[in-house]
């Protein structure tokens, strides 16, 4: 049985608000963005002057001016997770990382993170973009417990504002930057234990969401939106049927794609507002970091016995869920 | 766990030392000879390398229809065909690349997308597909993972694939070790229940992250290898992996077959011979195709595939970027 002993998150201090996007003059308005996707602000590693002046047409420039790299955000999130778990770098025997905006192809993002954190255990990347929280928990959960190290660090970090073409009125409104990290153990009890994990993919739609290594993010927005709502509802229904969730006590966290999409899902499943934890409205879509960052932000609010259902979807197309209980 | 079948794929362009002599100056023959490499395979057309030796990586990837993903799909197709399977028989696909052309979706998802994933009713076939990126230790890591999972979690058929095109990120202006890479993909069909050509007895991957900067490829940059410092480390890693396998499984070095994957095949051969391995039993596909990171040791295994007598042991041995290294202990069936 896997346990989560501590979680951490990191978001850069730069803020892109809807007024800024409106002033870029790409034909969008603050009101349209708020009504359409329910995002008010996004965290960014980019200076606003850089976005205003260049629209990030050449993403190589973003790497040069960024206030933080995905690695630095990951390190910051990991340190919080380790502190909350009471674990030091020398105790971590495995680090797995997910990033759809790595700064290196070699070594991997996980290996760079391990070096920065002083972790000498194994370090590698397990990647599927947005549903990384479910993938990492599902991957680690399949191990024979005696073949796992005592403590495992999982990290998901992304700086997608560095891969957005800000001449595109839709893409600029979606993305934010952030990282989340969590310490897992099969041998030590923690605040949360995992009751269930699930991960799957539909590679026939792999090209519906793409981040070009040498270019920008692009997606088939309508298809992805429909998929996201439908698949998340299916994931939640599956957990409801298997575990008799009580939405008056238990909590739902979805992929932080946009607020209106999340509203559709919670309306469909009759999940009351105080049982729906989210951060997309003021941080933007942080890819694989979004959902675990929400859980980290609410770490001290989790009540004994409470179940937390995390359902995440995204590029691949891929999707997954994790059910945790305090 | 068994390796049921193996498939591999090379790009169409073959680079010999004469091709690279001009852009890389006259010392190229000396360099390739020192590394024990005769020819390289590349997804980049010869004309592009000759005319724009430093055009990497921003423009070069658009010069060819071949990519890591197309190589990967060809390798998987070949492995499936040899096993008499279709993609619909595969319940898990693990992938690796050190040269993604897209950082999202994963390489595995791009590879799987090239198959007909619709069933007879026109419905999409869903199955878990993702990347487990171990670089040089790709196959040792994939196999180590599957051997470490609870038995019921490993599906009947699994694909493990490593697809790499490092020539996309190398400069060809000077005779440097970075020019001795080659492009290739290899796929293994693995099964915990169906016997295959090789039984997987053990697998181990290791990562020396403190020295990762010695073999580096920034996301927008050319690959840089600090060869003077990294060369002894890569050899040392090979020696450690070899020692682990021999000691743990009580193997006789002189009876072993080695499927090798490392940057300098010549030095690695000398090391292995000094440890009692017979030179004739060391196979390094990199000598004919260039060093292809994660794919390299399995390309060597593909060359040995029909030659190993039943009962003999094979070590798939690798070291490279990461820094990462690994060993897979196999026994021919």
DSSP-derived secondary structure for B231-259: HHHHHHHHHHHHHHHHHHHT--GGG-EEE
Q: What three-state secondary structure class fits A302? A: coil
Interchain CB contacts (distance < 8 Å): A and B: 185
Do B220 and B196 form a contact (C-beta atoms < 8 A)?
no
Q: Which residue has the tokens 């792999």?
A: A206
Residues of A in contact with B111 (CB under 8 A): 203
Distance CA A81, CA B14 (A): 49
Mind listing the pLDDT tens digit for each residue in B196-218? Answer: 999 999 999 999 999 999 999 99
Rounding to the nearest 10 degrees, give the CA dihedral for residues A60, B50, B178, B98: 50
A123 part of contact set with chain B, CB < 8 Å: yes
Residue with tokens 């290996």: A111
Share of residues in chain A with pLDDT > 70 (%): 100
Strand ranges in B166-292 using DSSP code E only, listed in sequence order: 184-191, 198-207, 215-218, 223-225, 257-261, 282-283
Report the percent of chain B where pLDDT is more than 90.
Answer: 76
Task: State the pTM of this model.
Answer: 0.96
The pLDDT, as a whole number, for residue B173 is 80
Answer yes or no: do A102 and B223 touch at CB < 8 A: no
Q: What's the order of all strands across the beta sheet hosting A217-219? A: A217-219, A209-212, B102-104
The C-alpha of A237 sits at a distance from chain B's nearest C-alpha, in angstroms, of: 18
- Residue pointed to by tokens 């009471």: A86
Instruction: Answer whether A144's CB lies under 8 Å from B148's CB.
Output: yes
Q: Are B296 and B264 in contact (CB under 8 A)?
A: no
CB contact under 8 A, A144 and B149: yes
Q: What residues pair up with A180 in beta bridges, in sequence order?
A: A9, A156
Nearest to B128 among A107, A108, A200 (CB): A200
CA distance B326 to B318: 5
| pLDDT(B299) > 90 | yes
The answer to whether A202 and B126 are in contact (CB under 8 A) is yes
CB atoms within 10 A of CB B276: 13
- For residue B102, what are the β-bridge partners? A212
- Structure-block tokens of residue B32: 């390739």
Which chain B residues are within 8 Å of A212, Cβ to Cβ? 101-103
Handedness of CA A110, A7, A257, A166 (dihedral sign): negative
In this prediction, residues B6-14 reach a mean pLDDT of 95
**From CA B327, how far away is CA B242, in angstroms rounded?**
7
Residues comprising chain B, all counted? 333
pLDDT, residue B56, reads: 59
Decide: A325 and A295 in contact? Cβ < 8 Å.
no
> Computed over its alpha carbons, how large is the radius of gyration of chain A?
19
Residue-wise pLDDT for B63-106, tens only, equals 778 999 999 999 999 999 999 999 999 999 999 999 999 999 99
Contact assessment for residue B6 and residue B302, using Cβ atoms and an 8 Å cutoff: yes
Judged against a pLDDT cut of 70, whether residue B319 lies above it is answered with: yes
What is the overall mean pLDDT for chain A? Answer: 95
Q: Which of B67, B105, B147, B223 to mutate to test the interface with A (most CBs of A within 10 A)?
A: B105
Other beta carbons within 10 angstroms of residue B166's beta carbon come to 29
Distance CA A162, CA A168 (A): 14
Q: pLDDT, tens digit, for every residue of A163-173?
A: 999 998 888 99
Contact A204 B113 (CB under 8 A): yes
* Secondary structure element (H or E) that encloses residue A199, with its range: strand A192-201
Best of A206, A209, A286, A317 to substitute, by most chain B Cβ atoms within 10 angstroms, is: A206
The residues near A230 (Cβ < 8 Å, ≥ 6 apart) are none
Q: Would you state the pLDDT for residue A220?
A: 87
Rounded to the nearest 10°, the torsion over CA A16, A129, A90, B153 is: 150
Mean pLDDT of A183-187: 97
Cβ atoms B198, B333 nearer than 8 A: yes
Q: Is the pLDDT of residue A317 over 90?
A: yes
Residue B251 pLDDT class (50, 70, 90 cuts)? very high
Contact B54, B48 (CB under 8 A): no
Measured between beta carbons, the chain B residues lying within 8 angstroms of A128 are: 105-106, 109, 130-131
As a whole number, mean pLDDT of residues B138-153 equals 98
Report the pLDDT value the prediction gives residue A178, as an integer from 0 to 100. 97
Across all residues in chain B, what is the average pLDDT? 92
pLDDT of res. B26 = 66
Query: Beta strand A151-159 with A92-98: parallel, antiparallel or unpaired?
Result: parallel
Give residues with Cβ within 8 angstroms of B111, minimum separation 6.
A203, B69, B72, B73, B76, B93, B95, B161, B163
CB-closest option in B149, B219, B220 to A143: B149
A48 in reach of chain B (CB within 8 A): no
Q: Which two tokens stand for residue B113?
A: 């997308």
Q: Which segment of A131-145, A219-233, B1-15 scores lowest on mean pLDDT?
A: A219-233
Q: How far is CA B226 from the centre of its chain?
A: 21
pLDDT per position as a tens digit, B17-67: 778 777 777 677 778 788 888 889 999 888 887 777 766 565 676 777 899
pLDDT at A315: 87
Structure tokens at B304: 């040995």
User: Any residues with CB less than 8 A from the CB of A161 and at least 6 apart, and which?
Assistant: A16, A42, A44, A45, A46, A51, A56, A62, A175, A176, A177, A284
The pLDDT, as a whole number, for residue B44 is 87
Distance from CA of A285 to the nearest CA of B (A): 15
- Asked whether B262 and B296 are in contact (CB, 8 A), the reply is yes
Residues of A in contact with B148 (CB under 8 A): 143-144, 147-148
**Interface touch B130/A316, C-beta < 8 Å:** yes
How confident is the model at residue B57, as a pLDDT?
Answer: 60
Helical (H) or strand (E) element with A18: helix A18-23
Q: Is the dihedral of CA B113, A37, A213, A255 positive or negative?
A: negative
| Backbone dihedral angles phi then psi of residue B102, each to the nearest 5 degrees | -130, 135
Q: Which residues pair with A4 in a beta bridge?
A: A184, A192
For range A97-114, the mean pLDDT = 95
For B279-288, which contacts have Cβ atoms below 8 Å and span 24 or more sequence positions?
A: B281/B256, B281/B257, B282/B258, B283/B257, B283/B258, B283/B259, B284/B36, B284/B260, B285/B184, B285/B261, B286/B37, B286/B182, B286/B260, B286/B261, B286/B262, B287/B36, B287/B37, B287/B38, B288/B37, B288/B38, B288/B39
CA B329 to chain centre: 16
pLDDT at B48: 81
Residues in chain A: 326
Query: Residues 6 or more apart from B230 whose CB is under 8 A from it?
Result: B211, B214, B215, B323
Work out the average pLDDT over B224-246: 95
What are φ and ψ of residue A229, in 5° steps?
A: -65, -50
């Amino acid at each position: 049985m896997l346990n989560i002993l501590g979680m951490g998150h990191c978001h850069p201090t730069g803020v892109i608000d809807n007024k800024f996007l409106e002033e870029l003059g790409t034909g969008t308005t603050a009101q349209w963005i708020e009504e359409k996707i329910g995002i008010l602000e996004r965290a960014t590693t980019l200076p606003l002057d850089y976005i205003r002046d260049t629209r990030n047409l050449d993403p190589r420039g973003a790497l040069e001016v960024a206030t933080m790299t995905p690695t630095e955000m990951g390190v910051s999130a990991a340190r919080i997770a380790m502190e909350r778990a009471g674990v030091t770098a020398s105790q971590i025997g495995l680090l797995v990382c997910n990033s759809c905006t790595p700064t290196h192809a070699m070594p991997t993002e996980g290996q760079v993170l391990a070096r920065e954190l002083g972790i000498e255990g194994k370090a590698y990347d397990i990647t599927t973009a947005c549903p990384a929280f479910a993938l990492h928990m599902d991957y680690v959960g399949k191990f024979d417990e005696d073949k796992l190290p005592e403590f495992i660090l999982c990290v998901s970090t992304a700086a997608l504002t560095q891969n957005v073409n800000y001449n595109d009125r839709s893409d600029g409104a979606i993305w934010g930057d952030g990282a989340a990290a969590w310490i897992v153990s099969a041998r030590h009890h923690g605040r949360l234990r995992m009751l269930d994990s699930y991960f799957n993919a539909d590679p026939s739609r792999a090209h519906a969401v793409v981040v070009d290594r040498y270019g920008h993010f692009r997606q088939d927005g309508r298809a992805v939106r429909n998929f996201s709502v439908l698949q998340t509802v299916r994931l939640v229904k599956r957990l409801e049927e298997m575990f008799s969730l009580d939405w008056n006590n238990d909590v739902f966290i979805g992929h932080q794609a946009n607020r209106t999409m999340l509203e559709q899902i919670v309306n469909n499943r009759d999940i009351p507002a105080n049982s729906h934890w989210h951060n997309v409205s003021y941080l933007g879509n942080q890819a694989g970091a979004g959902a675990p960052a929400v859980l980290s932000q609410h770490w001290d609010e989790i009540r004994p016995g409470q179940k937390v259902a995390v359902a995440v979807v995204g590029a691949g197309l891929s999707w997954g869920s994790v059910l945790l209980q305090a | 766990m068994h390796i049921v079948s193996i498939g591999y794929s090379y790009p169409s362009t073959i680079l010999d030392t004469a091709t690279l002599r001009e852009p890389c100056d006259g010392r190229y023959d000396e360099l390739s000879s020192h590394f024990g490499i005769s020819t390289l395979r590349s997804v980049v057309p010869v004309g592009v390398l000759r005319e724009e030796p430093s055009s990497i990586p921003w423009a070069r990837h658009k010069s060819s229809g071949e990519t890591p993903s197309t190589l990967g799909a060809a390798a998987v197709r070949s492995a499936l065909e040899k096993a008499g399977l279709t993609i619909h028989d595969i319940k898990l696909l693990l992938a690796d690349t050190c040269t993604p052309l897209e950082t999202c979706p994963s390489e595995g998802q791009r590879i799987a997308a090239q198959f007909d994933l619709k069933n007879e009713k026109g419905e999409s076939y869903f199955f878990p597909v993702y990347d487990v990126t171990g670089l040089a230790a790709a196959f040792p890591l994939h196999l180590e993972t599957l051997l470490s999972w609870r038995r019921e979690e490993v599906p009947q058929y699994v694909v493990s694939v490593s697809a790499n095109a490092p020539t996309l990120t190398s400069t060809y202006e000077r005779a440097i070790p970075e020019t001795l890479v080659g492009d290739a993909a290899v796929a293994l069909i693995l099964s915990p229940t169906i016997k295959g050509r090789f039984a997987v007895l053990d697998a181990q991957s290791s990562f020396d992250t403190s020295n990762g900067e010695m073999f580096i490829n920034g996301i927008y940059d050319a690959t840089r290898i600090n060869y003077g410092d990294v060369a002894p480390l890569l050899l040392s890693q090979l020696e450690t992996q070899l020692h682990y396998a021999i000691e743990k499984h009580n193997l006789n070095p002189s009876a072993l077959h080695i499927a090798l994957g490392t940057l300098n095949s010549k030095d690695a051969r000398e090391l292995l011979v000094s440890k009692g391995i017979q030179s004739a039993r060391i196979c390094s596909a990199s000598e004919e195709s260039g060093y292809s990171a994660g794919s390299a040791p399995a390309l060597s295994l593909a060359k040995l595939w029909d030659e190993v007598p039943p009962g003999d042991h094979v070590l798939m041995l690798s070291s490279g970027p990461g820094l990462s290294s690994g060993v897979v202990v196999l026994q021919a069936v």
